[in-house]
A = this chain, B = another copy of it.
């Protein structure tokens, strides 16, 4: 595919300080697009052992005409999203002689994007990062909004920084190499975008699901582009998550807790799928959501072949305990982003963060 075709076919979403370009075949022109968005003397590509064999060499070759290029790999998976990986990659860049005139290129899924973004955020007090997400989750969620970070034993994303990318470059064709379970997990965030902000899109996601799971490019591009639009609109309105952006945490308080309590044996999207169903039930239980909201969400989650219940191996008390380490906890109480109905969130008058007592949460977890 020629570079002209790749760029012509692309959709561009304005995310405020940067643009998200979504196309089919963009990877063939990625070096040029990265260099145009964040010109540098040195391009440090951060990727992982799963993604590098597919797309590493082509990106490296494409960047070589624009500057020095070095490749830096981490092991794949959430278990390696740690301060230790961040420190090792930072030291690799220092050893490679990267100065402030370096652009970090994140090539991979959400874990690579988060770690590489945090490396860039803290490298000599910040160098640019271009996000090139290759998983559905990273495309529609992690790559937009500037959140970067790593996990600790105490929980997910507890250490990190806001560091907006210079650009986000998405080639939906890279989803062909994504394992099916990860593709389904990414759909959880698309369902969330509909549930949180757009009932029409929620219905459209349900219709697109089988096509996206079958790898149909036009359907995938439509879903990614609309999800990115919704997320970018919310993030532009509230970069620092002081208010509206909290609505994107729907499903994530219980979701993170399940993910952590399971030792990350569930994928993030799988945990969020369960979290959305249970938090929607919680919302109905405390009377902020219309009756039937949880059932509707559960139906679409099931259609994506995602889990709808807490793993039996995790007791309700263990999950509840894990919610206490959530960043959204304030003054000891745990706050939730809860729906009013499909397409609209509750709690605007409470900054979109609704505190719920332990006994009610346990009831829903039981």
Contact = CB atoms under 8 A, between A and B. Distances in A.
Interface stretch (A1-9, A122-130, A184-192, A223-231): A122-130
Most interface-central of A125, A149, A160 (chain B CB within 10 A): A125
Contacts of A331: 41, 99, 101
Interface residues of A, number: 38
A100 interface: yes
What is the copy number of this chain in the assembly? 2
A153 B207 CA distance: 55
Contact of A99 (B97, B161, B329): B329
Interface string A110-127: 000000000001111110
Given A87-B83, A91-B154, A154-B95, A125 B161 contact: yes
Contacts of A94: 152, 154-155, 158, 325
**Among all A-B residue pairs, the 3 with the closest Cβ atoms:** A94-B154, A124-B327, A41-B331
Given A97-B332, A100-B329, 9 more contacts: A41-B331, A91-B152, A94-B158, A99-B327, A100-B328, A124-B158, A124-B160, A125-B160, A126-B161
18 contacts: A83-B83, A83-B87, A90-B159, A91-B152, A91-B154, A94-B152, A94-B154, A94-B155, A94-B325, A95-B154, A100-B327, A100-B329, A100-B330, A122-B149, A122-B161, A125-B148, A125-B161, A126-B162
